[in-house]
């Protein structure tokens, strides 16, 4: 029996800690739903779904300053709109809304389908033992993002390397992450320097170059920060989700067969993958005023982690919460957040996930793990036998 206070003190959510994270969540939710960890300079954590939703919906008490991510991915650079509090947040978020309307998503539907189909068919030709992460779940969102952002599709491996360095090396090798951040900014600066107004608003760069905030054009700095944020927000999250779905299906042949026989269940199954195996397990806030949650005093200025991954398995909200039930109907999960910063790309991410799973099942025969030691989390290799 683990000592809950020790579990709380040592609570971490990066790297190997993810191997056992669902047991940790269960111990904390039941024994210490609001607690304090000594990692990363010390932080409070909330593990109950209701507490997380309440904090998400109270930006006056819970600020996103200085960054939503711990450790930060952007070295003190505020990224709009995710690192901005109200009232400024509203205008910064509003600028992006036209990029994510149902009409814009509709334009991407066929490219997503065609890209997924081609990648899945090529993957099947690679033969047994091929890596579904490298050949499928990573390139799909990166190629689709290239259409949105207007960079050459062939650059996708470069983008994935930068994502790895920034997101996965920032704890152990911050210098590698910082260099990759600089490279990404330079890449977008180069695109911006070569941008010409051809009168059409076809991609992100066209759109941002013409966008106005409070009646003025965006500064060069703001524009580059938007590009950087979208690159960080949209690639790794979607790649992780597709990989996690394939990992689950590889390890659960009966459910894989069920989805092959009943493809209309795939959207429900994908919501369940998002709930249980979500790429964003935690987001950070800073408490702006002294607050009490479940009897715990949290002082102004202290860091608070909203542990979405724990809230997503809260037994008070989800019956049998640790079971991945691909037909679960009620699914009010937190994979995309739940307040004013709720994910703007949720419909795009969802579509890539659903179409990604559909096309993979269509092109690749019954598959299982080629290396059963590979874990549910991350965007690392997922070798499949088929
Ligand atoms: C399955 C894929 C994805 C997941 C799980 C995901 C998850 C999240 C989460 C948890 C947040 C923070 C919410 C909060 O703190 O309340 C967020 C914010 C955001 N996401 Fe996503 N995301 C995904 C895909 C995307 C894509 C494809 C894009 C765009 C290309 C995108 C753009 C954004 C933006 C712009 C924000 C900031 C919104 C704001 O601060 O107002 N995301 N996402």
Helix (H, G, I), strand (E, B) or coil at 37: strand
What pLDDT does residue 6 have? 96
In contact, 213 and 328? CB cutoff 8 Å: no
Residues 133-171 have pLDDT tens digits of 999 999 999 999 888 888 888 888 888 899 889 888 877
CA–CA separation, 225 and 231 (whole Å): 10
Distance between CA atoms of residues 243 and 225, nearest Å: 28
- Which helix (H) or strand (E) segment holds residue 24: the answer is helix 21-31
Counting residues of the chain whose pLDDT is more than 70, the rounded percentage is 98
Q: Is the C-beta atom of 271 inside 6 A of ligand 1? A: no
Q: Mind listing the pLDDT tens digit for each residue in 374-384?
A: 999 999 999 99
> Residue 43 pairs with which residues in a beta bridge?
37
Q: Could you tell me the sign of the dihedral formed by the alpha carbons of 124, 168, 25, 3, in that order?
A: positive
Q: How far apart are CA 336 and CA 344, in angstroms?
A: 9
Enumerate the β-bridge partners of residue 368.
385
- The confidence score (pLDDT) of residue 11 equals 96
Q: What separation in Å is there between the alpha carbon of 374 and the centre of ligand 1? A: 26
Among 142, 205, 226, 233, the mutation site with the greatest number of ligand 1 atoms within 8 A of its Cβ is 233
CB of 356 within 6 A of ligand 1: the answer is no
CB 78 within 8 A of CB 72: no
* Protein residue with its CA nearest to atom 7 in ligand 1: 336
* Cβ(336) – ligand 1 distance below 6 Å: yes
Q: 295 CA distance to ligand 1 centroid (A)?
A: 31
Q: First-to-last CA distance in the chain?
A: 40
Q: What is the pLDDT of residues 185-226, one digit of tens each?
A: 999 999 889 888 777 667 888 889 999 998 999 999 999 999
CB 239 within 8 A of CB 277: no
DSSP 269-327: HHHHHHHHS-S---EEEEE-S-EEETTEEE-TT-EEEE-HHHHTT-TTTSSSTTS--TT
> Per-residue pLDDT tens for 286-336?
999 999 999 999 999 999 999 999 999 999 999 999 999 999 999 999 999
Q: Average pLDDT, stretch 223-231? A: 93
Q: Would you say 45 and 304 are in contact if contact means Cβ atoms under 8 Å apart?
A: yes
- State whether the beta carbon of 144 lies less than 6 angstroms from ligand 1: no
Q: What is the number of the ligand 1 atom nearest to the C-alpha of 338?
A: 16
Homologous superfamily of 4-385: Cytochrome P450 (1.10.630.10)
* Res 74: pLDDT: 64
Closest residue by Cα to atom 27, ligand 1, is 234
Our mutation pick for probing the ligand 1 site, out of 138, 345, 379, counting the most ligand atoms within 8 A of Cβ, is 345
| CA–centroid distance, residue 157 to ligand 1 (Å) | 22
Res. 73 pLDDT band, cuts 50 70 90: low
């Amino acid at each position: 029996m683990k000592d809950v206070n020790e579990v709380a003190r040592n609570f971490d959510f990066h790297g190997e800690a993810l191997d056992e994270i669902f047991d940790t969540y269960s111990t904390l939710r039941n024994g210490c739903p609001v607690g304090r960890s000594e990692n990363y300079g010390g932080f409070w954590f909330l593990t109950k779904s209701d507490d997380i939703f309440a904090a998400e919906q109270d930006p006056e008490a819970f600020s996103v300053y200085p960054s939503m991510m711990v450790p930060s991915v952007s070295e003190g650079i505020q990224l709009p709109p995710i690192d901005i509090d109200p009232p400024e947040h509203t205008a910064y978020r509003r600028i992006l809304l036209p990029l994510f309307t149902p009409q814009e998503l509709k334009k991407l539907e066929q490219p997503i389908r065609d890209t997924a189909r081609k990648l899945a068919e090529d993957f099947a030709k690679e033969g047994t033992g091929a890596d579904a992460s490298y050949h499928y779940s990573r390139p799909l969102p990166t190629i689709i993002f290239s259409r949105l952002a207007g960079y050459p599709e062939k650059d996708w491996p470069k983008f994935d390397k930068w994502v790895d360095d920034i997101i996965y090396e920032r704890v152990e090798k911050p210098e590698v992450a910082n260099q990759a951040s600089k490279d990404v900014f330079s890449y977008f600066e180069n695109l911006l320097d070569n941008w010409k107004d051809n009168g059409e608003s076809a991609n992100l760069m066209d759109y941002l170059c013409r966008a106005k905030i409070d009646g003025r054009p965006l500064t060069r700095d703001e524009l580059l920060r938007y590009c950087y944020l979208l690159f960080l927000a949209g690639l790794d999250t979607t790649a992780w989700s597709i990989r996690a779905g394939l990992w689950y299906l590889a390890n659960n042949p009966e459910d894989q067969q069920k989805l092959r026989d009943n493809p209309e269940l795939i959207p429900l199954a994908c919501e369940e993958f998002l709930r249980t195996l979500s790429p964003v397990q935690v987001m950070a806030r800073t408490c702006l005023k002294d607050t009490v949650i479940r009897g715990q005093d949290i002082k102004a200025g202290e860091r608070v982690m909203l542990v979405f991954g724990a809230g997503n398995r809260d037994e008070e909200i989800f019956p049998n919460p640790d079971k991945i039930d691909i037909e679960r109907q009620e699914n009010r999960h937190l994979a995309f957040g739940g307040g004013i910063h709720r994910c703007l790309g949720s419909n795009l991410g969802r579509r890539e996930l659903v179409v990604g799973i559909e096309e993979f099942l269509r092109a690749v025969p019954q598959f299982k793990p080629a290396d059963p030691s590979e874990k549910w989390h991350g965007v690392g290799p997922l070798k499949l036998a088929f």
